[in-house]
Structure 1
């Protein structure tokens, strides 16, 4: 077992007793309501206050949240949604699952996020949404995508699954698009002891539709009256309580991640001429859910760090349009050279907030020593 794993097994160790108390409280409480109750509503209100969003709709996962967004926009068979070629698979599966077609756009070769300059050539009369996604440390160029959305009259779904707490040009992640998405998956920056997600929007009509869709098409007022064909993507009351417990300390955890990233980026800057590219420096538009380098000798460095008991992680080693599941939707004759390059070169190193300063220095020293 690695001494410094990429994702540590003790993410919630300091919250262990609080979680046990919460489970007991709900399990012995008089209401016995375990989904979409008062605590879920309280979490939605708390995140509305912290982000400024008009509506927050908690749901079962961020994957489910993306599908709720696509469905809420009325997208279906024959429609197209522009998505990144290098990303987690739900950006494509959420589109395919409702019968629409993902159109894969190449990414920026440094930041690894979908490149807005690649998008205009992909827009057709069938395009119904743009779905940029924030990746690892970097928010996508949301001003660019918002401008494209306005120019072509196309809604923007902002996949902020990894970026809760990040801010770009004074606007929180999730607030740029017509709809936004957060993830509470265990290892995310605001992860929980299980699954969960959130849809953000300032649009009253979209919010009403999403709320119905997450609960079998019911409006929450009259049970067993179904206004739409919905799904079960409801949020858990125990996890809502747990997230409310952890919310006050979330800014401190984000700041710790950002400080670690600042240190890494400074240490790795001299390695640029040796085939190592660190994320762009700075705090604006940064999320630091994962700190991922681009490394030409990735497998060699990974083996070296493993020998020193430092865990690493390779994300998305094959771009989405080249995956067996998604290749039927990949346009014939198209290529995604930047996506292929970052798939072959990205290497994540530990950035979890309870790393000690000594741990962080040891990790940075190890990376630098490999290239000396």
Structure 2
């Protein structure tokens, strides 16, 4: 936080996320760079990081890879999704939901979202299933996890593959099941601003299916099996994990639970403070802990741009995620059927606004942000 005159400045993405770990990170860089093995990718740190996550989750396999986006691509490729196949995805969310499908020659089919939670509507997802559908790929969004019990049953009943885009939800739990393990496979993202972000780029595939994990492990390294070098069993990718970042994530893993708890406490406080503002045009996410994640805290506001300006004037940065639904994006508009609509996704794009929720916000800063939103909503 910096000061402009007498007014605090609260950034949306703080520049000091890793300040407490700076010296440790510098040691890791030096030790890795001068180590006798000269192993910069897929070494002992990566293996140790994967093992630590496997044990924490109770997963059959965790495969660290280059990014959350490539993790989605690797999972779909491991499921042999390709030309002629359709994958049903949310109409509202991050571009890789559709981009990973298109990259494999398949077709994304867009389903609308629930107007309050902003995660995919299972009923609309079911309506979008055709004989060409091969997989369902729901995504957790902002503060709320998708309805995985319902979607798991739907995939089972219709004989479809189920990929869980849990990139923003690491640490979330729904009905006792960790995010990423409700479907056949899920993904995490370790880009800086995620709940377990790192000082760079990275991701992971998590799965209860050991054979699926083995295939993903080959695909991330040009189709090699890790036993016979330069023997390529499948066409793969270069999506290998960095040893420096693996060691850094191992260092930061013990503190993850406390950081997640702090995020959840901040989000819960916001929701409590905003509970009476719905009739004033400000809608908070649903309360509760089960099936929740605290990647960012996103509310909906009838006068979103005015609220954003009000916050900025008082030193609070905010962020608009996804102002356009995916089928309205130029890259994906060709996959939208003429005349098709996604009313909840369209409305969300016009109303969403995300507030700072990073764990080292002080109680006073959290209260200031909440007071500023309330000041706007309750103004005559």
Counterpart for residue 167 of structure 1: 173
Task: After TM superposition, give the deviation of residue 204 of structure 1 in Å.
Answer: 2.2
Instruction: Number of aligned residue pairs: give it.
Output: 372
* Offset from partner CA, 1:22-68 (integer Å, 9 cap, x none): 10111111111010011101000100111111100000000000000
Q: CA deviation at 1:125?
A: 1.1
Distance 2:353 2:271 in 1: 14
Deviations 1:79-125 (A, max 9, x none): 00000000000010000001000000000000100110101221111
Q: Which residue of 1 aligns with 2:138?
A: 132
TM-score normalised to structure 2 length: 0.97
Does residue 265 of the first structure (1) align with residue 271 of the second (2)? yes
| Residue equivalent to 1:311 | 317
CA distance in 2, matches of 1:356, 1:25: 34
Structure 1 runs (4+) deviating above 4 angstroms are none
Q: Describe the SS at the equivalent of 1:49.
A: helix
Aligned to 1:198: 204
Q: Is the Cα contact below 8 Å between 2:282 and 2:377 reproduced in 1? A: no
Structure 1 equivalent of residue 341 of structure 2:
335
Q: Secondary structure at the match of 1:371?
A: helix
Q: Structure 2 matches for 1:185-334, cutoff 5 A? A: 185-334=191-340
1:292 and 1:84 map into 2 onto residues whose CA distance is 17
CA distance in structure 1 between the aligned counterparts of 2:217 and 2:264, rounded to whole angstroms:
34
Distance 2:300 2:291 in 1: 19
TM-score after normalising by structure 1: 0.99
1:95 is aligned to 101
CA contact (8 A) 2:120 2:146 kept: yes
Tell me the equivalent position of 1:178: 184
Q: Give the C-alpha shift of residue 148 in structure 1.
A: 0.5
Distance 1:371 1:249 in 2: 36
**Distance in structure 2 (CA, Å) of the matches to 1:205 and 1:362:** 50
- 1:220-268 CA distances to partner (integer Å, 9 max, x unpaired)? 0001000000010000000000000000000000000011011101100
1:333 CA displacement: 1.9
8 Å CA contact 2:281, 2:377 repeated in 1: no
Matches within 5 A, 1:66-81: 66-81=72-87
2:28 counterpart of 1:28: no
Deviation at 1:206, TM superposition (A): 1.0
- d(CA) in 2 for partners of 1:313, 1:186: 16
| Structure 1 Cα separation of the partners of residues 130 and 360 of structure 2 | 47
Shift of 1:331: 1.6
Give the match for residue 11 of structure 1. 17
Q: CA deviation at 1:332?
A: 1.9
What do the CA deviations read for 1:194-235 (whole angstroms, capped 9, x no partner)?
Answer: 000000111122111101100000000001000000010000
Give the SS at the match of 1:220: coil
Residue aligning to 1:111: 117
What CA deviation, in whole Å up to 9, does each residue of 1:304-351 have, x standing for no partner?
000001000001001000111100011222100000010110000000
Gaps of 5+ in 2: 3-7
Counterpart CA distance in 2 for 1:209 and 1:155 is: 15
Cα deviation code 1:123-156 (max 9, x no counterpart): 1111010000000100000001101101101011
For the pair 1:50 / 2:50, whether they are aligned, the reply is: no
2:5 equivalent in structure 1: none
RMSD between aligned residues:
0.8
**SS class of match (1:270):** coil
